[in-house]
Structure 1
């Protein structure tokens, strides 16, 4: 220990205990300015015997520089990370350098940092100490919180100090906290006496009353010429005035040195990247003598004694002095686009196209490195400094677009409104907000269609408008609107980007335009150019509609992890829907439920009502498959009630699909047919309806079970003739099943055998199990009982594994009818009394009640009473089912 702090024994003890706590290895030290957070961190570092200690300090001047804080923390560790996974090293380097094509986000970068810390701490335990955490840039704070929550069981410890009165990105991070309180009266008096003995009673009491237990005030106020006891001035401001009084005694040149260092975030006393340009103070002996600076124990360089000194330096400077200092720093950082832009912007008052361009360049760099919020700030400032209205509009449009992609709908809407008088960008961004927040499709489609029709010269704006038009049309699911969208796309022809063109073909007239789309998706993803997250989103949705999502599963999930917290959150919401749909399709239903709940949380947090109801639609369909009919219908009603008044056909079709699936689950085929036929008429597939092809098997099965055999056959043949099997493996499986279910007696066997052996069956277990169930029932009716039992056993097992309870029970009912007892049957038989079992076995041989009574010396009436109890126990209703229920030959 360096030395015992006055009145802080308990806090020091709790901090030092962190070193031995592997279960909860991170601690957030929260306290008001001047309560001694830095001193406590010093005590912790001194007590960390055997630990490698790495320190970092946030600086207000660097709060808008993405990953500046993380850079401080990690760069000393990188030389010892030779064994770091190459992908993780690339993620860290991309965050620090803005490598083209790499856009690491919180989750991916957090995992990379976790890997680095674990690797480095293998040789010796590691203590990370972060002071002034409230000034960390947002991406750094998010990565730090993500990593700190996952360090349990490692040899890494983390202590972070933040000011209680300043909002921080670490607020709500879920870290264990230690709240630092002012010193009690005896401790405060002791500290004051240690600093300045012999004070008059009046001055001593005045300082104690003014300091109110704040250690920094107890140290600094006795050195001030006056205590500043007049007026209701907050203590930090009083201390800034104390430091300001000392500053006035310095020469102008020395004050300038301190100002440039303060504005550059220098003088924090922490390690920096080798070769990094940083302002170095010179000729500041007077400031050291005045107690404003102190030598750093590690380097000997002068550093600010306390963050309040840095704040006082900035506050004491005039606006012209601050702008001049920023101009000097912009020259210093001329090789660093982001730092140069920050200082240029602060040094500039009047519109300046050069500064605006520098800020725009910095925003591109920040976006590449995951600093979306920072990019929005810089693009907005670039717009303010633009001389031409067109440049202002474009930069505001870019800011609104980035804000929208980052899930900041309120910010996006405000920026769009600011640009309203300057061009089409405002219409596009307002349409984006209106669609995802309010589900507005009708008026929105009219506005965006008119905008596209009027002609947009800017290629980027035109692509955004066409993409938005596709999204509106997709959710509208209306043939009239889609027809206008198609006409506008035809007008632009080859000028439409490849991802947008693919989305047009897959999201709209899938049957007519979807052939060859899976190959086009693979080609774009395999190309040399990096694919933006919003392009990955569009391609993933396209792959889903074609049943080819499994081909890109790794990319899909990797993009979600990378972008989830501070990146393209809008794209993440859609990608999470695709992850959920993939999980439903592959039979991972428990995981799909979790993904759906995660999606609801995310959409609720950002106000995306349209996406929230989309997740409810998927959860409703999943509940219907599982046989949780009450929940399915509750979600169906919620989706329909929100979507139908807004003409969101995407949602109303999902509500119909939920109704069909729920009715099929409980065997209500007439209701199922009504729902399925409402989506598309038998014998054809409604254009621009995604559910028309997805509910192929639902419509065919419902039609067969309600005696509509001609309609069922016509629909199956329409699927074949429309080329659905060539569109995707899933549609090929559904078509094969539909043709088998509707086939005549002579050809059904071969078609069923081909359907259950279809290579796509393994990827879509629910659909395959449904076809097996239908096949088993057909075999039973054909008296092929051995084959029927095999098919039905496989179907029942698949439904059980999926959790499709009502479907599994239907398969077991068919199994009993095919002469094989199920596990439920055996349990029921075992529950019979000895006499009930004996009577049931005799009845199964065909003996009458009188004949059974004669053998067992019972009256026929008694035999009948026993059978009356046996039937419900075995789940049967007649003597004819006894043989199958008992499993007798």
Structure 2
């Protein structure tokens, strides 16, 4: 895959490979995962094409205390040439590489031997030396590489090293040209994400771009863990590679600091006071001071400012919980439950995260959080809350109802795949639930592809559901059937059956849902009646965008274009604000059609 946003760096590294005798090399610096290895891989490939031989080494954390381990990896392919070195150099290098034991080798002689060996090899074929993660190289190998780097300027040898930003290394003072890698710009980041994950849902794509913040490794690795991610959970799923990348600096911190970091990572806000209160609870102490974060600040993991604790990279917020044990995460969530007693929505989510099995009380809290989210315009958050509530439901019927309610919101939000997934997960059994599931799966196309006989079947289903006292559910089914009457002709008997069920429902004659059903099913036979009721309801626009949408559609069916424009114009802002993007285009279409008719 082509690199995105690194054209200037690739050009400079390409020039380095083309003329290795002109410069000694480059040290690429940047944060973990910024793309240093990708640039090195491109450079190595270009070097091979240009006729250079590539020798590699890389620092490994497990080998930091093994002297000359990195040098052994670099020189192993050319070890046969060691025998041709002058005796002092040969003995020193063989001892350093563990091939002989003739006393402690002189660091100077080891460096000189490595330089001589590499120069002899380069005389036959120019060399590219690659040293990755030099911050993890053993100190002896790093010193030898620095020694070599200072002396290869006139040799057909070039050295490319990678170093994590903010870490020391002898190579920083070895005369290598610095190349600092920044994060990708917005356009480059979007291009990279689209290249590795071209079919992300818009909301997930936007969230991922925000969280990754131009970080190339995050952009390429995060999509691999997004199979079940809906873009709403405060903690992004991480691949094992990202988890290793972003938690390496956490393991050496004091236990209390690690726990404070975990609480801060699970807290949705950066509020320092909340995190300190919750941390005190989990550590079973009266108070915790901000100084608990000092080791994390020194490790460049977080920053403290006026009342806030902020992770230096957004992905640390996901990496830290991923590396914690389930018991640690549960304690941290329970601590936040205690700290957020005056914030029911956030508290409900932490209660859910700390609950392993069914719990109807917590499920009910999530139900209420979903309702509040819906009316704040957070249809997506409401769906997620209902899914969590379903997971915690003690009764199968409650679980099914919550999943179908979430599916209904997904339909209204225009999320077809989510709606279909939720309906399948609901596994409806009862007559009403099966009818609801069937209706939801066909609402994206209003049953256009169905047999017109389906309308009569829906009338029978609506009547049966109404007989069980489920009036609201019966009206939903009637509305779904009425929409089908616009696209297909089900016949007079089917239309009459729908009207009969609607007439017998225990609701007011001017109920907006009944008015809309009547307008679609019998626009000619009952057009005058629908018009009178619409005029009566016209003074109540703006109270409920869904009601206004029903009435706008009803007005359009009976030719009341002025009323249709009025109702649909009132519906659109509310539907847009609530994120109900499956319903909004319908209201806008009614509004546009009506205004065209009105000139």
Fold shared per TM-score above 0.5? yes
Partner of 1:490: 503
> Judging changes above 3 Å, is the alpha-carbon distance between structure 1 residues 579 and 303 closer, same or farther for their aligned structure 2 residues?
closer
Partner of 1:448: 458
Q: CA deviation at 1:300?
A: 7.7
Q: CA deviation at 1:388?
A: 1.4
> Judging changes above 3 Å, is the alpha-carbon distance between structure 1 residues 566 and 490 closer, same or farther for their aligned structure 2 residues?
closer
Any idea what SS the aligned residue of 1:524 has? helix
Retained in 2: the 8 A contact 1:244–1:316? no
Matched, 1:244 2:250: yes
In the TM superposition, 1:366-405 aligns within 5 A as 366-405=373-412
Partner of 2:528: 515
Retained in 1: the 8 A contact 2:565–2:595? no
Q: CA deviation at 1:457?
A: 2.5
TM-score (norm 1): 0.39
Q: CA deviation at 1:403?
A: 0.8
Q: CA deviation at 1:329?
A: 0.9
Question: Can you list the C-alpha shifts for 1:157-206, whole angstroms capped at 9, x where unaligned?
Answer: xxxxxxxxxxxxxxxxxxxxxxxxxxxx99x99x989xx99942459999
Q: CA deviation at 1:537?
A: 2.0
Partner of 2:370: 363
> Judging changes above 3 Å, is the alpha-carbon distance between structure 1 residues 234 and 546 closer, same or farther for their aligned structure 2 residues?
closer
In the TM superposition, 1:734-773 aligns within 5 A as none
In the TM superposition, 1:709-724 aligns within 5 A as none
Any idea what SS the aligned residue of 1:515 has? helix
> Judging changes above 3 Å, is the alpha-carbon distance between structure 1 residues 311 and 570 closer, same or farther for their aligned structure 2 residues?
closer
Of 321, 336, 346, the residue aligned with 2:343 is 336
In the TM superposition, 1:170-319 aligns within 5 A as 199-201=142-144, 217-220=164-167, 236-247=242-253, 250-251=254-255, 253-267=256-270, 282=289, 283-284=291-292, 287-288=295-296, 291-293=299-301, 295-296=303-304, 298-299=305-306, 303-319=310-326
In the aligned structure 2, how far is the partner of 1:475 from the partner of 1:513?
A: 19
> Judging changes above 3 Å, is the alpha-carbon distance between structure 1 residues 577 and 290 closer, same or farther for their aligned structure 2 residues?
closer
Q: CA deviation at 1:35?
A: 3.6
Of 338, 356, 359, the residue aligned with 1:352 is 359
Q: CA deviation at 1:520?
A: 1.9
In the aligned structure 2, how far is the partner of 1:419 from the partner of 1:309?
A: 35
Q: CA deviation at 1:244?
A: 3.4
Q: CA deviation at 1:430?
A: 2.0
Q: CA deviation at 1:353?
A: 0.6
Retained in 2: the 8 A contact 1:502–1:520? yes
Retained in 1: the 8 A contact 2:541–2:548? no
Matched, 1:475 2:481: no
> Judging changes above 3 Å, is the alpha-carbon distance between structure 1 residues 564 and 416 closer, same or farther for their aligned structure 2 residues?
same
Paired residues in the alignment total: 389
Q: CA deviation at 1:483?
A: 1.3
Retained in 2: the 8 A contact 1:33–1:236? no
Retained in 1: the 8 A contact 2:545–2:574? no
Any idea what SS the aligned residue of 1:567 has? coil
In the aligned structure 1, how far is the partner of 2:548 from the partner of 2:275?
A: 36
Partner of 1:499: 512
Retained in 1: the 8 A contact 2:383–2:406? yes
In the aligned structure 2, how far is the partner of 1:317 from the partner of 1:204?
A: 42
- Structure 1: runs of 5 or more not aligned: 1-7, 12-30, 37-184, 207-211, 224-231, 588-889
In the aligned structure 1, how far is the partner of 2:343 from the partner of 2:538?
A: 32
Partner of 2:106: none
In the TM superposition, 1:579-594 aligns within 5 A as 579-587=591-599
Matched, 1:428 2:436: yes
In the aligned structure 1, how far is the partner of 2:538 from the partner of 2:386?
A: 29
In the aligned structure 2, how far is the partner of 1:520 from the partner of 1:550?
A: 14
Partner of 1:874: none
- Structure 2: runs of 5 or more not aligned: 1-5, 10-29, 36-127, 150-159, 171-220, 222-238, 280-287
Any idea what SS the aligned residue of 1:503 has? helix
Partner of 2:580: 568
Q: CA deviation at 1:453?
A: 2.5
Retained in 2: the 8 A contact 1:263–1:314? yes
Q: CA deviation at 1:364?
A: 0.9
Retained in 1: the 8 A contact 2:564–2:591? no
Of 538, 545, 548, the residue aligned with 2:557 is 545
Retained in 2: the 8 A contact 1:260–1:325? yes
Question: Can you list the C-alpha shifts for 1:786-809, whole angstroms capped at 9, x where unaligned?
Answer: xxxxxxxxxxxxxxxxxxxxxxxx
RMSD: 4.4
Any idea what SS the aligned residue of 1:306 has? coil
Partner of 1:758: none
Retained in 2: the 8 A contact 1:386–1:392? yes
In the aligned structure 1, how far is the partner of 2:162 from the partner of 2:148?
A: 14
In the TM superposition, 1:771-782 aligns within 5 A as none
In the aligned structure 2, how far is the partner of 1:433 from the partner of 1:476?
A: 18
Question: Can you list the C-alpha shifts for 1:714-753, whole angstroms capped at 9, x where unaligned?
Answer: xxxxxxxxxxxxxxxxxxxxxxxxxxxxxxxxxxxxxxxx
In the aligned structure 1, how far is the partner of 2:247 from the partner of 2:364?
A: 39
Matched, 1:407 2:417: no
Q: CA deviation at 1:264?
A: 0.1
Question: Can you list the C-alpha shifts for 1:546-578, whole angstroms capped at 9, x where unaligned?
Answer: 322223535423533553597223322322331
In the aligned structure 2, how far is the partner of 1:528 from the partner of 1:542?
A: 14
Retained in 2: the 8 A contact 1:417–1:426? no
In the aligned structure 2, how far is the partner of 1:277 from the partner of 1:527?
A: 49
In the aligned structure 2, how far is the partner of 1:302 from the partner of 1:419?
A: 40
Retained in 2: the 8 A contact 1:400–1:413? yes
Any idea what SS the aligned residue of 2:166 has? helix
Any idea what SS the aligned residue of 2:524 has? helix
In the aligned structure 2, how far is the partner of 1:386 from the partner of 1:266?
A: 28
In the aligned structure 1, how far is the partner of 2:351 from the partner of 2:423?
A: 25
> Judging changes above 3 Å, is the alpha-carbon distance between structure 1 residues 496 and 393 closer, same or farther for their aligned structure 2 residues?
farther
Any idea what SS the aligned residue of 1:526 has? helix
> Judging changes above 3 Å, is the alpha-carbon distance between structure 1 residues 266 and 550 closer, same or farther for their aligned structure 2 residues?
closer
> Judging changes above 3 Å, is the alpha-carbon distance between structure 1 residues 192 and 420 closer, same or farther for their aligned structure 2 residues?
closer
> Judging changes above 3 Å, is the alpha-carbon distance between structure 1 residues 259 and 366 closer, same or farther for their aligned structure 2 residues?
same
> Judging changes above 3 Å, is the alpha-carbon distance between structure 1 residues 218 and 33 closer, same or farther for their aligned structure 2 residues?
closer
Q: Which has the higher helix share?
A: 1
